[in-house]
A and B are shown apart, each in its own frame.
Chain A
Amino acid sequence: MDIKKQLSSLVTIKGDLPVQVKYGLYALYILLFVILWESAAGVAIRPFSEIFESLGVLWFEKGLAVDIGQSLQLNLVALASTITLTLITSYLSIFPFWRPIAFAISKGRFLGLLGLNFIFIELFGLGFEMKVALLTFGITVFYLTSMYSIVQEIPESKLDYARSLGLSKGQIVWQVVIRGTADQMLETLRQNAAIGWMMITAVEGIVKSGGIGDLLWNSNKHFDRGEVLAIIFCILAIGIFQDIFLKTMKKIITPHAISEKH
């Protein structure tokens, strides 16, 4: 009966799984992934033994730790710039005078990084600043799209409510636009920060002055599949850690968003 109940919870709409079932399910999917991966191993997909071996070479002989550090620093600086630019631009879009600017920047997501890099090189040179600028641009256009739409979709009733309480324009922006959307801001940041790790390889590949992306391009150039996959898994692990960190931040900063209903 108990097993039957646990199994039925697997197909319950928006159901919660018991802890054992949840972790059991995770373990099962990981096992399935490993089996599928190993059985598909060939020229492109390398067995895990080779990937781990390559990881050792990268770490102990090719300075993977230093490259990861460089990429982390780049991503953090770019993320900080992105957050600053996006939040100022999106929050100001509550006022009609700023709306066209926010709208235009958000449309930058249709522009590819390749090609734009010449403009960025001309503006910032071929160093860390250029990588930061390019990555900031790459993430901002997506993050701003989400934030712009969050701000524009604030219901009129919420603004009416704040006005009827006699709040000033500044207080309305603070309470309704900034604090009122903080949980969505952090959630979309979590989603869009992942784009940074997708783009970092392209950005570091263009500049080629170190970082995990540069390392990936080199391994790719030498057809070292084991190393390529080892680096990709490293990026995945860092991305997952970042995701967990941002999710935790969201819980701490906006606890009201996760509280259970009465």
Chain B
Amino acid sequence: MQFRRNIRIKDIIMPKYKETNTLMHISNVNLAFGPHLILDNINLEIKDIVEPGKVRGQIRCILGPSGVGKTLLFRIMAGLLEPDSGEVLIAADGETLHPVKAGDVGVVGQHYPLFEHLSVLDNLILGGKTAGLSKAEAKDKSMELLDRFGLANWFNFWPKQLSGGQRQRIAILQQVMVKRMFIIMDEPFSGLDPKALHKVIELIRELAASHEFQTILFTTHDISAGVQVADFVHILGREFNAAGEVVRPGHFLEHMNLIDQGIAWQSNIRELASFQRLINTLEDKFDNI
């Protein structure tokens, strides 16, 4: 209670941002496989976060244990899977909400999928062409991006020849070429060494800052990496009874606003005591969901 009161006073004194139009609205989404309910009444509203004088997208992390339904929820959010009930509305242009359909939301799946038969450059060009660029324009933009993110030397490599970190960054850049306002990433940090992890985090931050409506959602098991990069954390979990049986399947247990908590948007985030406290809290929560 004390903490909440502090936030409110702080916001009144110095508002960091304001929430404006709705970019995505998930309401009453349910999904079952046969008799087994997997997702139970999922609700989430994502609004544009406007920081005066800055172009700033947002990054949201969905934390949850394995098997809770994160990937299924992502497929629903991306319009790739129809829920049994409920709907997902999206403002692909940042203004007008409509039911999500495949192609509205960019997806960087687990294991960083790319077209294996296309070179790195051709993968990016294909992304650009789907966004309406000519081949020459797509090629120029692809080379510019590869150069900017230190990947130009690999332009004619096959995806199979890349390391995990390089593949991940190319997969993200492909989505940049497609120009999607929403990008969903499933476990973007898995299997990366610290150096590659740092590069991916930087790329996600830079991508989020590229457009006011740019919204990145990702899942991760790496709580520390997730909190470092996210503006909001949504905890997806289950409820168990005393016998350890699931009494309520996957649903949002908690939504955390890391901007209000003074953690997000900080350059020295890892040094903050509140950052460490949050990591510990989240790790404790994980044991029970």
Contact = CB atoms under 8 A, between A and B. Distances in A.
Interface stretch (A31-39, A46-54, A155-163, A205-213): A155-163
Given A160-B80, A165-B127, A165-B178, A180 B103 contact: no
B117 A165 contact: no
Contacts of B174: 165
Nearest to B162: A262
Contacts of B160: 256, 259, 261
A262 B178 contact: no
Interface string B134-160: 000000000000000000000000111
A231 B276 CA distance: 79
Contacts of A219: none
Interface in A211-262: 254-256, 259-262
A183 B115 CA distance: 13
Nearest to A163: B102
Interface residues of B, number: 28
A166 interface: yes
Contacts of B161: 259-262
From A167, A256, A259, name the one whose CB has the most chain B CB atoms within 10 angstroms. A256
Contact of A180 (B102, B105, B115, B131): B115
Interface of B: 75, 78, 80, 102-103, 105-107, 109-110, 113, 115-118, 126-127, 130-131, 158-163, 166, 174, 178
B78 A175 contact: no
Contacts of A176: 115
B17 to A, nearest CB: 29
A182 interface: yes
B168 to A, nearest CB: 13
A161 to B, nearest CB: 4
Interface in A141-195: 157-158, 160-161, 163-167, 171, 175-176, 179-180, 182-183
B116 A166 contact: no
What 7 pairs between A and B have smallest CB-CB spacing? Answer: A166-B103, A164-B107, A163-B102, A256-B158, A161-B113, A166-B130, A259-B158
Contacts of B162: 262
14 contacts: A160-B109, A164-B107, A165-B106, A165-B130, A165-B174, A166-B103, A166-B178, A167-B130, A179-B117, A180-B117, A254-B117, A256-B159, A259-B160, A260-B161
A157 B75 CA distance: 10
B126 A175 contact: yes
Nearest to A256: B158
A60 B78 CA distance: 70
Range, interface on chain A: 20 to 34
A84 to B, nearest CB: 21
A65 B105 CA distance: 62
A259 B117 CA distance: 11
Contacts of B78: 160, 164
Contacts of A254: 117
B117 A163 contact: no
Contacts of B80: 160, 163-164
Given A163-B102, A259-B158, A261-B160, A157 B113 contact: yes
Contacts of B131: 166
Contact of B163 (A161, A175, A180, A262): A262
Contacts of B127: 165
A262 B158 CA distance: 10
A164 B126 contact: no
B126 A165 contact: yes
B103 A158 contact: no
Contact of B103 (A165, A256, A260): A165
Nearest to A255: B158
Contacts of A256: 116-118, 158-160
A260 B158 CA distance: 9
From A164, A179, A183, name the one whose CB has the most chain B CB atoms within 10 angstroms. A164
Contacts of B163: 262
Contact of A164 (B105, B118, B159): B105
A233 B116 CA distance: 39
Contacts of B113: 157-158, 161
A171 B126 CA distance: 10
Nearest to A166: B103
Given A175-B126, A256-B160, 13 more contacts: A160-B107, A163-B102, A164-B78, A165-B174, A167-B103, A171-B130, A175-B115, A180-B115, A180-B116, A256-B117, A256-B158, A259-B161, A261-B160
Nearest to B103: A166
A185 to B, nearest CB: 11
Nearest to B167: A262
Nearest to A179: B117
B2 to A, nearest CB: 44
A165 B130 CA distance: 7
B117 A182 contact: yes
A201 B65 CA distance: 61
A102 to B, nearest CB: 23
Contacts of B115: 175-176, 179-180
